[in-house]
Structure 1
């Protein structure tokens, strides 16, 4: 990636009064969120380039993120900056009407997460390098929300999350567990060691598969480089943690039907996913371009609507605020280990990655996005009452 870019011109031929009108809206949003330009508080915006607000006004979310990556502005507390903006409705003006229309049309015309496109996020994000994720994550390499109810450290929160999942699934020795989107194998390793099960994990990331196989080499675990739509077999339990965000609305029905076919009639499935408060065709242009291409966050309604033909919802648990704390812990780790990473990742990547982590932390703190764990059983497939686990 290129380094921090030099200031560049944006629509230099535009009339000054057009600039003033555009930047006025940005200033109104900042004022409503109590964010001051060049103020003294940690969440205030320090502007270094005179066309920063114009760029943001013209390009909305993409302009805000790219101008930060280019060094046009700074903020000491990015997470609080985004928390304030989203709490005061900035997400309602983060997209232009044209962007909204194009995204809506694109969702209906194209399957952005078909078998061909589904590998793009693995190549662009998850295959960035295991050194990056090892520096940022806890020892279990859990790249999903920790469970902080009784935890003080990131490692404790992630172990509590793994234990919570195993308890909710009511794992017993000898059971088979399928992990769709298994990451670096942390959940399968934990479940095998503590619950004496055997497992299969699937991922589309070469880097994840390589490390997961290494970590689980002595365990009854099979790590496959495979799309969930190509899976066969039957399992006592199915779990998917932090992968459903890459499935996409055009494939929700396929995902649920596939999982139902892979799960024994008396089995349980746990779905751990980030979600939005309302059903929408919008996705954030900056996140889509730089972090999670072709990603799409589901709503509760969308998940329930596509699950109802196959499953009974036994439990629904929201601990979204825990994700803000998790992301802040990842950001601290990333900053603390940057000297070990700087030879492979340049300064523009550093700004991009911190922007990503803190923007997401602010969104979770503002309750703009959520973290859900759903537990499903086959419709009519269980005789005992599900008791749950918290």
Structure 2
């Protein structure tokens, strides 16, 4: 098994049809690849079995989560170099890419030979079981109440202490709004205040925050704008944390936190609704229902602020499931839609869309700060969760930062109004003068 790294690199280049852009170090301490590049460390032969049994992203993700694979050097640089091979490769110009089907591979003598060599390198044995951090099989219809609760629990009920390490004191788990010299706390406070100003909040109004997380939005709106707020979440851990924050702030008479699905909110109308980083969980099959429910829950003249990640449009595709790693380990059943589709569905529900603000670069900055928080407190993060869970979060946040930077995905704040009969929207004449 001498020079395992060289053999793996040669086989990978044969399959991919291009030289590997990073170094490779194998379990036998052999190493190969371009000098100065980040190093993909294959700690165990088991990593190869994972990739052989599930070629592509999922096999690599399982090897990463299990600790069979690691990266030495700059993780962002490594992911950036690999992105062209793993996520952005055009099969029309790369006929020997990973996108080949098994049948196509069997017809290619070179790939058959490469597969046999890789099997020999991987050693005998059945496919290893997935790491325990992988989401279990979801039951029931897609985006049913029961299935959504399970998906939300997988992502959010991993420990409030862990999220405190990653998110910092703001406990805001969505894109911040940055200025040149902002801290993460400043930028998150600026985002919450921007949402409040876009909604035109005033003392005594009723605010519904859909997917309220750890309560940061309702706390800010109640404390700074004097509203009466209801926050709904499907996470028991988030709700308990938010209720304690509200009690500590002396706002229990002003703010209510419910463990409740947005489809079960019975007590409209509200003067304003915020939905910040929640709509990605709704899904294409439920999105028309989501917009219709929010429209019904608003009073005439009320405003909705929908803050949502978007993908780029793709031909002949109504819905887009996030990649296999994200689906299995991070956001089960998550879906992204183009911003144009979101705007259309809001309008179809009866909303008047008044403003769309794209803040893609802001999310890249936010994610890089979260990664830095996680890396700085790595030992504690592992202790609070597991080595695999910490590795999941580090990979998904770093990869997501690059996706925003590369314009593979974006994030948008869409302000919409339930404009009453007569057409008086209540918005200021000058665009983005949100004090009106």
Whether 1:306 aligns to 2:345 is yes
Distance 1:274 1:43 in 2: 30
Match of 2:4 in 1: none
Helix, strand or coil: the match of 2:214? coil
Distance 1:55 1:41, change over 3 A: farther
**Contact 2:159–2:384 under 8 Å retained in 1:** no
Helix, strand or coil: the match of 1:59? coil
Whether 1:272 aligns to 2:272 is no
Q: Give the gaps of 5 or more residues in structure 2.
A: 1-6, 25-32, 91-96, 103-139
Aligned CA-pair RMSD: 2.9
Structure-1-length-normalised TM-score:
0.83
Match of 2:161 in 1: 131
Moved more, 376-385 or 246-255: 376-385
* Partner of residue 286 from structure 1, selected from 322, 325, 336: 325
Instruction: Report the Cα offset of residue 348 of structure 1.
Output: 2.4
* Partner of residue 230 from structure 1, selected from 230, 253, 264: 264
Whether 1:79 aligns to 2:76 is yes
* Partner of residue 62 from structure 1, selected from 58, 61, 81: 58
**Contact 2:417–2:425 under 8 Å retained in 1:** no
Distance 1:157 1:41, change over 3 A: farther
Distance 1:389 1:65 in 2: 45
The 5 A counterparts of 1:1-390 are 24-26=14-16, 28=18, 31=20, 34-37=21-24, 38-41=33-36, 43-49=38-44, 56=51, 58-69=54-65, 70-86=67-83, 90-92=87-89, 96=99, 111-217=141-247, 218-219=250-251, 220-232=254-266, 233-279=268-314, 280=317, 281-309=320-348, 310-380=350-420, 382-386=424-428, 387-389=431-433
Instruction: Report the Cα offset of residue 91 of structure 1.
Output: 3.4
**Contact 2:301–2:426 under 8 Å retained in 1:** no
The structure with the larger Rg is 2
Instruction: Report the Cα offset of residue 83 of structure 1.
Output: 3.4
Moved more, 243-252 or 75-84: 75-84
Match of 1:7 in 2: none
Which structure would you say has the larger RCO, counting Cα contacts within 8 Å and 6 or more residues apart?
A: 1
Distance 1:347 1:384, change over 3 A: closer
Distance 1:352 1:40 in 2: 28
Distance 2:188 2:384 in 1: 27
> C-alpha offsets along residues 88-107 of structure 1, whole Å, 9 cap, x if unaligned?
783347985779xxxxxxxx
**Contact 1:146–1:157 under 8 Å retained in 2:** yes
Helix, strand or coil: the match of 2:357? strand
Instruction: Report the Cα offset of residue 319 of structure 1.
Output: 1.1
Q: Give the gaps of 5 or more residues in structure 1.
A: 1-15, 100-109
Distance 1:265 1:169, change over 3 A: same
Distance 1:87 1:238 in 2: 40
> C-alpha offsets along residues 234-254 of structure 1, whole Å, 9 cap, x if unaligned?
111000011111000001100
Distance 1:382 1:231 in 2: 27
Instruction: Report the Cα offset of residue 206 of structure 1.
Output: 0.2
Distance 1:299 1:198 in 2: 33
Distance 2:345 2:73 in 1: 42
Distance 2:36 2:412 in 1: 33
